[in-house]
C-alpha cells in the first residue's frame, strides 16, 4: 500500500483513535513520582501490546499525554491520561490489558474513547481531596478549620521551581470540612487519633496543594499533630477531579466522552 | 510476630526522605509469598543504593531461582540513604525488605552480593539497622546466617568477622544447595544450633566459614598459615561453576522498577568467563572457563524478557561480548527480528577490533549512533604487553577511524593509571594516542565534528590475578601523572578541544586496594571507619579518604601493619596470601609465572584458539570450555497477532 496523505515521509502511522483513561495511585505506590509513573506507563503499553502511535521526528515519542499529576506521596483515585493509537481497540479491553501490565496500586480503572471536543486538561478545574491526619484530634481539626474559614486570605510559603514563594491558600479552597473519624469509609485504616479533612480546591497558579492547605491551618491555628507525627506525614488522597459546577460539585472529565445512555446506568 | 510488615512504621518516615519510591517495592517481577508458606527464607542484598542495586543481575537471578521453589521465599533489601537511616534509628524501624517490608532480622539467611569491596561499610549499616550483631561470633540461633557472595567474596577475609559464610563463584546452584541443607537442619529441629548448621555448610567444601579457620601471623606481619580449627572442615574451599547456561536461562522475569535506576534495560548474559587473559582483570580470571549461552537461548531470552518487562533496550552482556563464537549471527539475527520496532540493542564490553564496528552497525540499525567505547587500557605498546591487552596502536587507530567513517561521532577510550611497572611516559602516551585518533578521524571523515573521550580509572590489584603480588602506586604519583596527561592532551589546542578527559583521583583506589587484598586485620578498620560515619564508599560525595586513613592509623599499628603494608608493598612468591585457602581453580604457580611474564612483557594468547596454557581451572574444577558454533540461525519472528495482551505476573 502506498502512503496516505496523513503519513508524512519517513513517518509514523497516524493516530486513528484517542483513548482517555482514569487511573489510581494507591497504597505504597503513592510515592511514585510523576516521572516514575510516566516510565511505568510507557513500559506497560509495550507489555500489553498496545498499538500506540508515535510522534514524528528523529526520536519518536509515544503519544501519551497526562492531564494531571498528583504530587509524589499523595494518593489518588482519579488521575487521567490520554493516549493516541495507530490501530483501533476496544476501550474496555485496553483498560484490562493496561491494568494487568501495571504494578498493583497503579490501577487503570476506566477507559473511554475521546469523542467530545476539548482537551482533558480543559475539563479539570478542581479537585476533591481527603487528608488523614494522624496525631490530630477531631476537635483540634474542627477548630483549625473554623479559623481558616473565618479568614479571607491565608498566606503560606513553599519552595517552588522558581524559588521560595508566598501565596494565598484561602481563595482557592471552595470547601473545607472536618469529617468525623467515626464516619470514615470502609477500607481506610485509621490508627487513633486521626482526624480527617475533606477539601475541594480550585486549580490555580501557583497550584494550591493539600500540604499547602495544611500549612495554612498551621498558620491560622497552630495545627500540629502530637509526636511522633508531623503534618508532613499526613496522608492525602485525591478522590476526584474535574469541572467545578456553580453548586460546588465536581463533574468527572470523562463524562463528556461517554455515550449519553451510559451516564445514567453507571 | 516474625515476618510481619513494618510498612506502617516506615510509611510515616517516607514523606520525610528523598526519593521514597525506592523503599516501597512494587516492581514488576517482584514476588511476595506468605511467611508461613516457606521452610527456608532468604533476604538478598546488594549493599548499595536501590538505584544501583536493583539492576544487579546476580541478585535478580538468585531471587528468581529461589522464589521458583515452592517452599522457599526470597526478598530483597538495599542500603538506605543516610536521611532514612537516621529516621529509622530514631524511630526504631528495622532494616526492611522492599518486597513485603519484613524485618531483615526475621529471615533464615541474609545473602549479600559484593561486586566490589566498596559495599562493606553499607553491609555494617544493614546489619546494625537489622539489629543483627555486627560480629558473627556474637550471633545466636535467632539471627540470620549472613552469607557473602559476588566477586569480592573471593577474598572475604577483611569481612571475615562480620559474615558467617562466603560462597565463591556462580550462585544459582549454590543457593539451592545451601537452602536444602538449611531446610533439612530445620526439619530435624535445628540440632546443634548455629555451630552445627555452619559446620554442615562448611563440609560441602564450597561454603567458606571463616570461624572454622585460624590465621597465624609471622613476627613481620605476614601470614604464617591459615588452618582449619576443627575436624571435617576442608583445608581449601572451592569455587562453584554453573555449567550449561542454556539450562539456567535467568532472569526470565526481570525486575522492572518504578524508580529510576542506573540501567534501564533488559540484560542477557551471552556467556560467562573470559580467557583473554588481561592480567589486571579479576573477573576474567575467576570466572573461567568460558561457557557460552547458545544463540537460540539468547534470542528466546531476549524475546521473553522484552515481552515480560516492557523494556525497549536490550544489553548483550559478558566480559568481552564480541568473543561469542556466533556473535555475528546473534547481532544480525536480533537486528532483523527487531527491525522497525522501538527495541534497541547494545553490546557493551567489546574489544578494539574492526569486527566490532560491523556488529555495532548491525545493532544500530534501529537506533542512533550515539557512541562507541573501546578499552585499550594502557597508553603505550609496552604497558599493554605488561597487562596482556593485545592491541597495537595501528589496530586502535584503524578501528576508531572505521567507526568515524561509518557515522559515529563520538568514541570513548578507556584506560587505567597506576598499572605495574608504569612510568610517566606510559601515561603521557595516552595523549599521543588520543591526538592520533582525532587526526585520523578528521582525515577520514573530512569533518571536524568528531569527538573522543579519554576515561581513566585507577588500577587496583586484585586477588586471584597475576597482579596479586604487585605494589600499588601512591595516590600522589597517580594524581601527578593524570595532571601531566591533561596538560599533554591540551598542549595542542585544536586536537585537545575534541578530546574529553575524565578520571578518578588515586585516593579511592588505594582504599579499594586495601579492602581487596586485606586480611582479617582489616576488619577492624572497616568497623572503625563505619563507626566514624563512613557509608556509600562507591559514591564520591560520600567517600572520605581522610576518614579511612585515620581509621587505618588508629587500628593497624597495634596489629603491626599499616595502610602502605597492604597496598604499596610488593609481595614475594613465598608469601602466604590471605586468600590462598580459597580455591578459584587458578594454579598459584601459573599465576606467578604469568606475573613474571608481565614483567618481561611476554604476551599470553587465548586458550580458545591456541593450546591450553595450564592456568589450572579446568582440571581442578572438572570443567571445560563450552563454546559454539552451534550452526543455528535465528528465524525472522512471524508477526503474531498484534492484539492486546493481558500480561501475567504484574
Q: Per-residue pLDDT tens for B239-287?
A: 999 999 999 999 999 999 999 999 989 999 999 999 999 999 999 999 9
Measured between beta carbons, the chain B residues lying within 8 angstroms of A28 are 7, 11, 24-26
Provide the shortest C-alpha distance from residue A40 to chain B (in Å).
6
Chain A touched by B502 (CB under 8 Å)? no
User: For the CA atoms of A111, A34, A196, A231, what is the dihedral angle to 10 degrees?
Assistant: 180
Chain B touched by A59 (CB under 8 Å)? yes
Measured between beta carbons, the chain B residues lying within 8 angstroms of A134 are 12
Provide the shortest C-alpha distance from residue A65 to chain B (in Å).
19
A17, A90 in Cβ contact below 8 A? no
Question: Residue B394 class from Cβ within 10 Å (0-12 exposed, 13-18 middle, 19+ buried)?
Answer: exposed
Q: Per-residue pLDDT tens for B535-573?
A: 999 999 999 999 999 999 999 999 999 999 999 999 999
| B12 with A28: Cβ contact below 8 A | no
Give the model's pLDDT for residue B368: 65
| A43 with B20: Cβ contact below 8 A | no
Chain B touched by A210 (CB under 8 Å)? no
Max mean pLDDT range (B200-204, B409-413, B630-634): B200-204
**Per-residue burial over B215-247, b = 16 or more CB atoms within 10 Å of its CB, e = otherwise:** bebeeebbbeebebeeeebbeebbbbbbbebbe
Measured between beta carbons, the chain B residues lying within 8 angstroms of A102 are 650
| A72 with B368: Cβ contact below 8 A | no
Provide the shortest C-alpha distance from residue B153 to chain A (in Å).
34
> At CA A75, angle to CA A72 and CA A79, rounded to 5?
90
A110, A95 in Cβ contact below 8 A? yes
Q: How many CB atoms lie within 10 A of CB A92?
A: 11
Give the model's pLDDT for residue A66: 94
User: Which residues 619-648 on chain B approach chain A with CB closer than 8 angstroms?
Assistant: 642-648
Measured between beta carbons, the chain A residues lying within 8 angstroms of B645 are 47-49, 97, 101
Chain B touched by A54 (CB under 8 Å)? yes
> How far is Cα B268 from Cα B272, in angstroms, rounded to an integer?
11
What mean pLDDT comes out for the span B228-247? 97
Give the model's pLDDT for residue A186: 53
What mean pLDDT comes out for the span B451-467? 97
Provide the shortest C-alpha distance from residue B261 to chain A (in Å).
10
> How far is Cα A158 from Cα B607, in angstroms, rounded to an integer?
65
**Pairs of CB atoms within 8 A across A/B:** 108
Query: B463 vs B174, B303, B583, CA distance in Å?
Result: 22, 38, 11
What mean pLDDT comes out for the span B152-181? 98
| B258 with A228: Cβ contact below 8 A | no
Q: Determine if the peptide bond prior to B289 is cis (ω within 30°).
A: yes
Nearest to A104 among B13, B643, B650 (CB): B650
pLDDT-above-70 percentage for chain B = 98
> How far is Cα B268 from Cα B297, in angstroms, rounded to an integer?
10
Provide the shortest C-alpha distance from residue B148 to chain A (in Å).
30
- CA distance between the termini of chain B: 28
Instruction: Name the grid cell of A89.
Output: 481497540
Chain B touched by A17 (CB under 8 Å)? no
Give the model's pLDDT for residue B361: 84
Provide the shortest C-alpha distance from residue A123 to chain B (in Å).
29
Identify from A21, A28, A131, A236 which residue to disrupt to test chain B contact, counting B C-beta atoms within 10 A and taking the largest count: A28
Chain A touched by B258 (CB under 8 Å)? yes
Closest by CA to B519, choosing from B223, B285, B229, is B223
| Biggest distance spanned by C-alpha atoms of chain A | 72
B448 Cβ contact list (under 8 Å, min separation 6): B442, B498
Provide the shortest C-alpha distance from residue B417 to chain A (in Å).
38
Q: How confident is the model at residue B372 (pLDDT cuts 50, 70, 90)?
A: confident
Give the model's pLDDT for residue A174: 96
Evaluate if residue B340 carries a pLDDT over 90: no
Chain B touched by A9 (CB under 8 Å)? no
Per-block mean pLDDT, blocks of 10 residues, chain A (266 long): 42 91 96 95 94 86 91 96 96 96 95 94 95 93 97 92 91 94 54 85 92 96 90 93 94 88 47
Chain A touched by B181 (CB under 8 Å)? no
Chain A touched by B210 (CB under 8 Å)? no
Evaluate if residue B649 carries a pLDDT over 60: no
Q: Output DSSP code: residue A62.
A: B
Instruction: Name the grid cell of B62.
Output: 538468585
In this prediction the ipTM stands at 0.88
Chain B touched by A259 (CB under 8 Å)? no
Nearest to B310 among A94, A101, A229 (CB): A101
Domains detected in chain B: 265-368+586-650 (3.30.750.210)
- CA distance between the termini of chain A: 43
Nearest to A43 among B310, B646, B648 (CB): B310
Give the model's pLDDT for residue B188: 97
A33, B21 in Cβ contact below 8 A? yes
Q: How many Å is the Cα radius of gyration of chain B?
A: 25
Give the model's pLDDT for residue B247: 97
User: Which residues 189-208 on chain A approach chain B with CB closer than 8 angstroms?
Assistant: 191
Q: Output DSSP code: residue B558.
A: G
Mean pLDDT (chain B) is 95
| A96 with B646: Cβ contact below 8 A | yes
Q: Output DSSP code: residue B96.
A: B
Provide the shortest C-alpha distance from residue B143 to chain A (in Å).
28
Identify from A27, A47, A97, A98 which residue to disrupt to test chain B contact, counting B C-beta atoms within 10 A and taking the largest count: A47
| B310 with A229: Cβ contact below 8 A | no
Chain B touched by A39 (CB under 8 Å)? yes
Evaluate if residue B516 carries a pLDDT over 80: yes
- The backbone torsions φ and ψ at residue B127, rounded to the nearest 5 degrees and listed phi first, read -60, -45
Give the model's pLDDT for residue A5: 40
Give the model's pLDDT for residue B333: 94
Tell me, letter by letter, the H, E, C secondary structure of B245-266.
Answer: HHHCCCCCCCCECCCCCCCCCE
Nearest to B643 among A29, A44, A49 (CB): A49
**Strands of B207-208's sheet in order across:** B72-79, B40-49, B109-113, B145-149, B165-167, B207-208
> How far is Cα B352 from Cα B158, in angstroms, rounded to an integer?
36
Chain A touched by B366 (CB under 8 Å)? no
B205, B238 in Cβ contact below 8 A? yes
Q: Which helix (H) or strand (E) holds A128?
A: strand A126-134
What chain A residue is nearest to B259 in terms of C-alpha separation? A36
Measured between beta carbons, the chain B residues lying within 8 angstroms of A42 are 310
Give the model's pLDDT for residue A182: 60
Measured between beta carbons, the chain B residues lying within 8 angstroms of A94 are 644
> How far is Cα B51 from Cα A91, in angstroms, rounded to an integer?
35
> At CA B337, angle to CA B332 and CA B339, rounded to 5?
85
Q: How many CB atoms lie within 10 A of CB B450?
A: 22
Q: Which helix (H) or strand (E) holds A197?
A: strand A194-202
Q: Which helix (H) or strand (E) holds A142?
A: helix A138-150
What chain A residue is nearest to B258 in terms of C-alpha separation? A36
Lowest mean per-residue pLDDT among B367-371, B396-400, B481-485, B544-548: B367-371
Provide the shortest C-alpha distance from residue B410 to chain A (in Å).
18
Measured between beta carbons, the chain B residues lying within 8 angstroms of A111 are none
| B258 with A40: Cβ contact below 8 A | yes
Amino acid at each position: 500500500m502506498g502512503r496516505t496523505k496523513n503519513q508524512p515521509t519517513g513517518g509514523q502511522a497516524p493516530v486513528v483513535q484517542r483513548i482517555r483513561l482514569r487511573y489510581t495511585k494507591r497504597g505504597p505506590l503513592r510515592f511514585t513520582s510523576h516521572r516514575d509513573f510516566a516510565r511505568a506507563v510507557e513500559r506497560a503499553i509495550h507489555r500489553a501490546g498496545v498499538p500506540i502511535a508515535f510522534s514524528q521526528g528523529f526520536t519518536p515519542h509515544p503519544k501519551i499525554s497526562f492531564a494531571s499529576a498528583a504530587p509524589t506521596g499523595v494518593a489518588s483515585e482519579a488521575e487521567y491520561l490520554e493516549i493516541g493509537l495507530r490501530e483501533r481497540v476496544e476501550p474496555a479491553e485496553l483498560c484490562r490489558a493496561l491494568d494487568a501490565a501495571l504494578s498493583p496500586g497503579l490501577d487503570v480503572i476506566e477507559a473511554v474513547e475521546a469523542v467530545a471536543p476539548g482537551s482533558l486538561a480543559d475539563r479539570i478545574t478542581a479537585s476533591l481531596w481527603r487528608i488523614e491526619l494522624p496525631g490530630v484530634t477531631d476537635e483540634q481539626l474542627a477548630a483549625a478549620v473554623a479559623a481558616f474559614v473565618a479568614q479571607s486570605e491565608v498566606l503560606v510559603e513553599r519552595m517552588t521551581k522558581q524559588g521560595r514563594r508566598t501565596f494565598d491558600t484561602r481563595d482557592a479552597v471552595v470547601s473545607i470540612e472536618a469529617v468525623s473519624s467515626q464516619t470514615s469509609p470502609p477500607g481506610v485504616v485509621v490508627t487513633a487519633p486521626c482526624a480527617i479533612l475533606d477539601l475541594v480546591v480550585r486549580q490555580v497558579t501557583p497550584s494550591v496543594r493539600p500540604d499547602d492547605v495544611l500549612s495554612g491551618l498551621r498558620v491560622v491555628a497552630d495545627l500540629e499533630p502530637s509526636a511522633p507525627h508531623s503534618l508532613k506525614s499526613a496522608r492525602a488522597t485525591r478522590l476526584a477531579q474535574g469541572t467545578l459546577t456553580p453548586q460546588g460539585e465536581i463533574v468527572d472529565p470523562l463524562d463528556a466522552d461517554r455515550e449519553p445512555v451510559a451516564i445514567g446506568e453507571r | 510476630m516474625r515476618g510481619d510488615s513494618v510498612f506502617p512504621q516506615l510509611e510515616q518516615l517516607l514523606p520525610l526522605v528523598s526519593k521514597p519510591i525506592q523503599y516501597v517495592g512494587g516492581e514488576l517481577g517482584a514476588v511476595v509469598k506468605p511467611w508461613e508458606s516457606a521452610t527456608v527464607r532468604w533476604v538478598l542484598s546488594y549493599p548499595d543504593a536501590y538505584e544501583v542495586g536493583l539492576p544487579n543481575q546476580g541478585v535478580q537471578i538468585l531471587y528468581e531461582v529461589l522464589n521458583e521453589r515452592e517452599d522457599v521465599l526470597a526478598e530483597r533489601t538495599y542500603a538506605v540513604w543516610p536521611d532514612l537511616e537516621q529516621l529509622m534509628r530514631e524511630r526504631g524501624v528495622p532494616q526492611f525488605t522492599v518486597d513485603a517490608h519484613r524485618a531483615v532480622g526475621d529471615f533464615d539467611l541474609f545473602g549479600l552480593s559484593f561486586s566490589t569491596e566498596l559495599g562493606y561499610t553499607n553491609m555494617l549499616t544493614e546489619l546494625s539497622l537489622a539489629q543483627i550483631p555486627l560480629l558473627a561470633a556474637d550471633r545466636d540461633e535467632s539471627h540470620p546466617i549472613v552469607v557473602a557472595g559476588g566477586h569480592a567474596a573471593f577474598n572475604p577475609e577483611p569481612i571475615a568477622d562480620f559474615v558467617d559464610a562466603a560462597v565463591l563463584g556462580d550462585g544459582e546452584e549454590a543457593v539451592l544447595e545451601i537452602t536444602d541443607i538449611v531446610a533439612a537442619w530445620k526439619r530435624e529441629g535445628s540440632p546443634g544450633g548455629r555451630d552445627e548448621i555452619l559446620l554442615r555448610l562448611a563440609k560441602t567444601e564450597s561454603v567458606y566459614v571463616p570461624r572454622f579457620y585460624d590465621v597465624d601471623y609471622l613476627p613481620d606481619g605476614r601470614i604464617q598459615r591459615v588452618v582449619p580449627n576443627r575436624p571435617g572442615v576442608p583445608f581449601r574451599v572451592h569455587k562453584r561453576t554453573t555449567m550449561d547456561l542454556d539450562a539456567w536461562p535467568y532472569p526470565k522475569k526481570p525486575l522492572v522498577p518504578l524508580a529510576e535506576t542506573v540501567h534501564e534495560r533488559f540484560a542477557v548474559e551471552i556467556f560467562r568467563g573470559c580467557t583473554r587473559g588481561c592480567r589486571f582483570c579479576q573477573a576474567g580470571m575467576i570466572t573461567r572457563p568460558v561457557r557460552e549461552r547458545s544463540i537460540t537461548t539468547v534470542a528466546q531470552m531476549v524475546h521473553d524478557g522484552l515481552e515480560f518487562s516492557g523494556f525497549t533496550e536490550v544489553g548483550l552482556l559478558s566480559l568481552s561480548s564480541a568473543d561469542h563464537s556466533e556473535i555475528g549471527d546473534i547481532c544480525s539475527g536480533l537486528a532483523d527480528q527487531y527491525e522497525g520496532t522501538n527495541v534497541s540493542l547494545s553490546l557493551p564490553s567489546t574489544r578494539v577490533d574492526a569486527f566490532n564496528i560491523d556488529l555495532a552497525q548491525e545493532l544500530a540499525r534501529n537506533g542512533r549512533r550515539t557512541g562507541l567505547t573501546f578499552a585499550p587500557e594502557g597508553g603505550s605498546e609496552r604497558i599493554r604487553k605488561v597487562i596482556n591487552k593485545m592491541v597495537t596502536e595501528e589496530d586502535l587507530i584503524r578501528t576508531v577511524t572505521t567507526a568515524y567513517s561509518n557515522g559515529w561521532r563520538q568514541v570513548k577510550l578507556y584506560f587505567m593509571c597506576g598499572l605495574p611497572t608504569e612510568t610517566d611516559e606510559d601515561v603521557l602516551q595516552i595523549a599521543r594516542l588520543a591526538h592520533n585518533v582525532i587526526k585520523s578521524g578528521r582525515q577520514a571523515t573530512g569533518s571536524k565534528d568528531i569527538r573522543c573521550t579519554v576515561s581513566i580509572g585507577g588500577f587496583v590489584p586484585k586477588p586471584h590475578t597475576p597482579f596479586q603480588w604487585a605494589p600499588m602506586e601512591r595516590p600522589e604519583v597517580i594524581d601527578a601523572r593524570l595532571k601531566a596527561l591533561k596538560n599533554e592532551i591540551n598542549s595542542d589546542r585544536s586536537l585537545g578541544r575534541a578530546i574529553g578527559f575524565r578520571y578518578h583521583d588515586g585516593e579511592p583506589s588505594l582504599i579499594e586496594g586495601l579492602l581487596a587484598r586485606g586480611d582479617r586485620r582489616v576488619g577492624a578498620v572497616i568497623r572503625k571507619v563505619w563507626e566514624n560515619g563512613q557509608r556509600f564508599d562507591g559514591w564520591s560525595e560520600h567517600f572520605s579518604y581522610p576518614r579511612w586513613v585515620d581509621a587505618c592509623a588508629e587500628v593497624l599499628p597495634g596489629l603491626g601493619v599499616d595502610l602502605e603494608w597492604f597496598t604499596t608493598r610488593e609481595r614475594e612468591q613465598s608469601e602466604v596470601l590471605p586468600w590462598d585457602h580459597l580455591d578459584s581453580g587458578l594454579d598459584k604457580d601459573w599465576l606467578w609465572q604469568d606475573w613474571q611474564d608481565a614483567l618481561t612483557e611476554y604476551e599470553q594468547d587465548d586458550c580458545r584458539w591456541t593450546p591450553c596454557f595450564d592456568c589450572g581451572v579446568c582440571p581442578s574444577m572438572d570443567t571445560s570450555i563450552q563454546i559454539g558454533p552451534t550452526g543455528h540461525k535465528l528465524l525472522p519472528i512471524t508477526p503474531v497477532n498484534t492484539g492486546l495482551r493481558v500480561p501475567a505476573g504484574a
